Amino acid sequence: AQSVTQLGSHVSVSEGALVLLRCNYSSSVPPYLFWYVQYPNQGLQLLLKYTSAATLVKGINGFEAEFKKSETSFHLTKPSAHMSDAAEYFCAVSDPTGFQKLVFGTGTRLLVSP
């Protein structure tokens, strides 16, 4: 079965610092991987997705993620954090039995201090 592990339920950074949110996946087949962001009292917004076209994926708001098959990882990064990046971030993998079925990680709350 597919699964996703997000290391760190909370990550704190200073404004302007590098953001690194970790995601490791388990999949029996080549996966489709996603990062979503959730702001308070809102739904999920897609940041980026990996669909095997390129290992380095660029998303919205300056985020990017690199797919590393050897490490089964899909970590999310942003060179310089902004206060507006404070939110909860979810990594997800498509279930091969149904591509509309996502298996989510437990989420990482990003805190950005001035």
In the complex, least distance from residue 28 CB atom to other proteins, rounded to whole angstroms: 16
Tell me the pairing of strands 108-113 and 56-58.
unpaired
Q: Residues 95, 2: contact at Cβ < 8 Å?
A: yes
Per-residue exposure over 12-40, b if at least 16 CB sit within 10 Å of its own CB, e if not = ebeeeeebebbbbbebeeebbbbbbbeee
Applying CB under 8 A, the span of 11-19, 63-71, 79-87, 103-111 interacting with other proteins comes to 103-111
In the complex, least distance from residue 7 CB atom to other proteins, rounded to whole angstroms: 15
- Residue 44 binding other proteins, by CB under 8 A: yes
- Residue 50 binding other proteins, by CB under 8 A: yes
- Residue 97 binding other proteins, by CB under 8 A: yes
Q: Residues 86, 111: contact at Cβ < 8 Å?
A: yes
- Residue 32 binding other proteins, by CB under 8 A: yes
Q: Give residues in contact with other proteins (CB under 8 A).
A: 32, 34, 36, 42-46, 49-52, 90, 92, 94-95, 97-107
